[in-house]
Amino acid sequence: MGVAEMSSAGTALPSISIPFLTNRGVLQQSDGGLDYGTRIDALSGGRCQVDWDDNAPSSATNGPVESLSVERVLDLIDHPDARNVIVYVHGYNVSLERGCREAATLAHQTGFDGRVLLFSWPASDLMVTYWQDEAMFAASVASIFAALESVGSRIGFNRLNVVAHSMGSRLASAEMSSSSFGKRRLNHLVLVAPDIDSRIFREALPELQQRARKLSILVSDSDRLLLLSQIINLGGRLGRASDFDANGVDVFDVSDFDSLGLSQHLYHLESPQVGDVLRQVLDE
């Protein structure tokens, strides 16, 4: 039974393995296990296991992390019978382990079990490192697009969807035009609670529309963390711009949805209603 097939009788969700690519430095622990830190290193791959103690994604815990070659990771998502694949790029203040839990929950919410690949950049797991994470993400953009190039070249760019959350949405910037991604055209770019300046996004939009067949944005004007980011950055955040309008961009305002969570920033993981929207948007 797949993750998205939890029965109404409360059948426990099974474990799920999430393949990942990362530019995090690998640390060897004294017990022989692997840990991924907050320094930038060469692109590498692996697989993490996520378990549920209850029949809800909110109870997810991490199992072992396995190091794999990039080619082996690509093998895991290269299913000829599968339609599209999601590459999930997390936001700031997210460790690799938390990123795995988020990717597993996204797979559950969207029904993309077995078709979600995590890209984890070297974000910290401390709330007070916003500026550090901002610099780390900027330094990771080339690695992100190199990973997308590898995935798209293997499975076909027409099957490649990118879901980027919060600070991860900054890959949708003018840097995209000068990246190693070349002139590739992916299937769908979905920005969830994007922590990017609305003006910068609008300037990058013509280029973005050449790089993605479809663009979608999920926004909420009640997003508390983006309100804080707006104050810090002295600029409007796209993820709070419920009135954003541009030709060729689908905007989904989830402000009034149920179960958006305390911060109302992780709603793609916490709200079944938002999960339904994502499922429809991605599965078309």
Q: Which two tokens stand for residue 7?
A: 């029965």
pLDDT in tens, 29-80: 656 667 888 999 999 999 999 987 665 555 667 778 899 999 999 999 998 7
Q: Are 272 and 260 in contact (CB under 8 A)?
A: no
Q: What is the pLDDT of residue 29?
A: 62
Q: How confident is the model at residue 113 (pLDDT cuts 50, 70, 90)?
A: confident
Using CA atoms, how far apart are residues 206 and 211, in angstroms rounded to an integer?
9
Name the pTM for this structure: 0.91
pLDDT in tens, 191-240: 999 999 999 999 999 988 988 999 999 999 999 999 999 888 888 899 99
Q: What is the pLDDT of residue 283?
A: 80
Q: What is the pLDDT of residue 9?
A: 37
As a residue count, the chain comes to 284
Domain ranges of the chain: 3-283
Q: Could you tell me which of 109, 112, 110, 106 has the C-alpha nearest to residue 94?
A: 106
What's the average model confidence in pLDDT over 145-161? 93
pLDDT in tens, 239-266: 999 899 999 999 999 998 888 877 889 9
**Terminal CA-to-CA distance of the chain, rounded, Å?**
23
How many CB atoms within 10 Å of residue 25?
A: 15
Q: What is the pLDDT of residue 10?
A: 44
Residue 61's beta-bridge partner residues? 51
Give the CATH number of domain 3-283: 3.40.50.1820
